[in-house]
Amino acid sequence: MNTSMQAVRYLGPKQNFELRAVAIPSPGPGQARVKIAACGVCRTELHLRDGLLDLGRRDFTVGHEIAGTIDAVGEGVRAERIGQRVVVYYYEGCGDCRYCREGDEQLCPAPASQPGFTSDGGYAEYIVVRARNCVALPPEIPLSQAAPLGCAGSTAVHAGKLARLVPGAWAVIHGFGGVGMATLQYAASCGARTIAIGLGAARLQAAREMGATAVIDAAATPDVAADVATLTGEGADAVFDLVGTSASMGASAAMLRRRGRLVLIGYTADLFSIHPVALIVREIAVLGSVGSTLGDLHDAVDLVARGLMRPVIDRTMRLADFAEALAAVEAQDLTGRIVLTP
Ligand SMILES: [Zn+2]
Ligand SMILES: [Zn+2]
């Protein structure tokens, strides 16, 4: 077997990623090595590259939507796991803090590692992670479809739970990229009525095909909040903001009904500013949602297996073409995820 592999490295903020040869890692105690079949491209990679997200670490492999096959295990991991097809959960919490104890490893203040964010991720041929982070896939889910569950799918499940969606509730998905598509599907699986706000005929057609109750073309209307009011009567029970601009977040807050919940997931360099009275007199809740728990990823896999969620892949590209893939994400002309294959 080769001892080195190709990997796309983050060297520091405001620097382009570089394809480099690095050593193929070996699993230590409690770990598994995954031969990567597919890694989704997430907007977060742009935030890392541009310096908007900087967790302080340098020189690691990016990528956190990882699917592949376990090809080696370390001490204490059942050998039967070798050959298992898996999607990888990308938080490894400390295991001891109040958040880890509750299963909220995405909130751990001192995580052991975070593949793709502070330690080696999935734009590579192999990755070594804690074995329990490798979530087994049923045979009906292909690896290329599974990769986007690692972030887009599990993030949607997590945000949907925070929004406490109930049957009949109106859920607005403001921003219709990979996470938005998964959030719409999750909301529909909860029995919610869904409104997708997006740009471009192809994406909005995809929303209709996913069963959106209504779609709004953000480029074709002067006031998306007014459109939501017209559709819902009073306003939405929950709005998921995946755009993260001052304009989108202001509109998202304005389109809620009383007691509505605004869930912020996407971000840009913009600030969210609002007069408190707009929240106070309508008892609006504003929530942040980051990543997911390991349980949320298990739930996402289960929902896909049951046909209630379906990852949307725009295209598959070679790992070596990562720069082209990132440019396409930046241009926002995709319908679904790009998946890289080593
Ligand atoms: Zn992501
Ligand atoms: Zn912890």
Cα(235) to ligand 1 centroid in Å equals 29
Contacts of 292 (CB under 8 A, 6+ apart): 89, 106, 154, 155, 157, 158, 300
The residue length of the chain stands at 342
Cα(297) to ligand 2 centroid in Å equals 18
Residue 163 sits at φ, ψ, to 5 deg, of: -80, -10
Average pLDDT rounded to a whole number, residues 89-109: 97
Cα(51) to ligand 1 centroid in Å equals 16
Residue type, 314: D
Ligand found nearest the CA of 41: 1
Each residue's pLDDT tens digit, 35-64: 999 999 999 999 999 999 999 999 999 999
% of residues, the chain, pLDDT over 70: 100
Average pLDDT rounded to a whole number, residues 278-301: 98
Cα(116) to ligand 2 centroid in Å equals 18
Tell me the C-alpha distance between 319 and 122, whole Å: 10
Each residue's pLDDT tens digit, 298-320: 999 999 999 999 999 999 999 99
- Predicted pLDDT at 134: 98
Ligand found nearest the CA of 43: 1
Say yes or no to pLDDT of 86 above 90.
yes
Say yes or no to pLDDT of 224 above 90.
yes
Q: How confident is the model at residue 332 (pLDDT cuts 50, 70, 90)?
A: confident
- Predicted pLDDT at 2: 85
Is residue 49 within 8 A of residue 1, CB to CB? The reply is: no
User: 25-29, 157-161, 259-263, 327-331: lowest mean pLDDT where?
Assistant: 327-331
- Predicted pLDDT at 293: 98
Average pLDDT rounded to a whole number, residues 15-21: 97
Cα(92) to ligand 2 centroid in Å equals 8
- Predicted pLDDT at 84: 98
Tell me the C-alpha distance between 26 and 128, whole Å: 7
Say yes or no to pLDDT of 291 above 80.
yes
Each residue's pLDDT tens digit, 106-132: 999 999 999 999 999 999 999 999 999
**Which residue carries 């204490």 as its tokens?**
76
Cα(94) to ligand 2 centroid in Å equals 4
Say yes or no to pLDDT of 333 above 90.
no
Count Cβ atoms within 10 A of the Cβ of residue 192 and give its class: 0-12 exposed, 13-18 middle, 19 or more buried: buried
Say yes or no to pLDDT of 1 above 80.
no
Each residue's pLDDT tens digit, 190-211: 999 999 999 989 899 999 999 9
Cα(2) to ligand 1 centroid in Å equals 30
Each residue's pLDDT tens digit, 226-285: 999 999 999 999 999 999 999 999 999 999 999 999 999 999 999 999 999 999 999 999
Neighbours of 196 (CB within 10 A): 27
Ligand found nearest the CA of 99: 2
Closest CA to 86 of 75, 72, 74, 100: 72
